[in-house]
């Protein structure tokens, strides 16, 4: 009887771990969901755009936004991703995705009246994936510095590629282990990072080339 009771407890404990793992996975999925423009503005953009710090157009001030709105969402988003005048790239928050940047801009320029974009429209391009790797990512990935998977090292890339390109791009956007958000190049867009990751993956998915 005691053996059966012990086995029952083990089964219950295992079920508890499974349920906990599911809760963790759900929380992680929720964290990956793009925030609304309102959430981003209230958490990040308001620090400058609330009072017009360093000439930033103020939230809700039509006169501030009108001359900028004429350039369209794509150009405004590009400015926000690249940085313009005293505003740093990605508003100083490199973990913001391209879509979140566009949502924040859309919210501010419309005074909160326009629905959040559901897909990214503005693109920032710093060249092909090969060119971006040569000028940015290669600084660590050429030699495998700080644990970065070396370009051409199939063994190092295999477990990473198993997660899919989307997961690898997300890691590049948000940072992973010793790699900072966007590899430390905050002006690189998600599209830039996808091109760079795809290029490195293409060079590292065959036989080990170390």
Quote the pLDDT of residue 3.
Answer: 41
Quote the pLDDT of residue 79.
Answer: 86
- Determine the Cα–Cα distance for residues 189 and 194; give it in Å rounded to an integer: 9
- Determine the Cα–Cα distance for residues 77 and 98; give it in Å rounded to an integer: 8
Q: Which residues, 6+ apart, have CB-to-CB distance to 154 below 8 Å? A: 204, 205, 206, 207, 208, 209
Stretch(es) of the chain classified as CATH 1.10.760.10: 37-109, 129-202
Quote the pLDDT of residue 142.
Answer: 87
Quote the pLDDT of residue 92.
Answer: 85
Percent above pLDDT 90 for the chain? 23
Residue 188 has pLDDT above 80, yes or no: yes
23 — pLDDT class (breaks 50, 70, 90)? very low
Q: What is the greatest pairwise CA distance in the chain?
A: 80
The CATH fold of domain 37-109? Cytochrome Bc1 Complex; Chain D, domain 2 (1.10.760)
pLDDT 10s digits, 33-86: 889 999 999 999 999 998 888 888 998 888 998 888 888 888 888 888 888 888
Quote the pLDDT of residue 70.
Answer: 86
pLDDT 10s digits, 150-160: 998 889 888 88
pLDDT 10s digits, 85-140: 888 888 888 888 999 999 999 999 988 888 999 888 767 778 898 999 998 998 88
Residue 206 has pLDDT above 80, yes or no: no
Of 3.40.50.280, 3.40.366.10, 1.10.760.10, 1.10.10.10, which CATH number belongs to 129-202? 1.10.760.10
């Amino acid at each position: 009887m005691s053996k059966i009771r012990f086995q029952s407890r083990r089964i219950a404990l295992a079920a508890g771990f499974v349920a906990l793992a599911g809760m963790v996975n759900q929380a992680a999925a929720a964290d990956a969901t793009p925030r609304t423009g309102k959430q981003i503005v209230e958490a990040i953009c308001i620090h400058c755009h609330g009072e017009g710090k360093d000439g930033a157009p103020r939230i809700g001030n039509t006169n501030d936004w009108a001359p900028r709105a004429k350039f369209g969402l794509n150009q405004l988003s590009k400015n926000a991703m690249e940085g313009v005048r005293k505003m740093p790239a990605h508003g100083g928050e490199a973990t913001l995705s391209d879509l979140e940047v566009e949502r924040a801009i859309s919210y501010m320029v419309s005074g909160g009246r326009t629905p959040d974009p559901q897909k990214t429209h503005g693109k920032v391009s710093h060249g092909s994936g090969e060119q971006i790797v040569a000028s940015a990512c290669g600084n660590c990935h050429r030699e495998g510095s700080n644990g970065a998977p070396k370009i051409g090292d199939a063994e190092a890339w295999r477990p990473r590629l198993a997660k899919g390109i989307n997961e690898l791009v997300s890691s590049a956007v948000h940072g992973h282990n010793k790699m900072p958000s966007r590899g430390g190049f905050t002006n690189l867009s998600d599209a830039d990072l996808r091109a760079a990751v795809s290029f490195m993956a293409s060079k590292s998915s065959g036989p080990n080339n170390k």
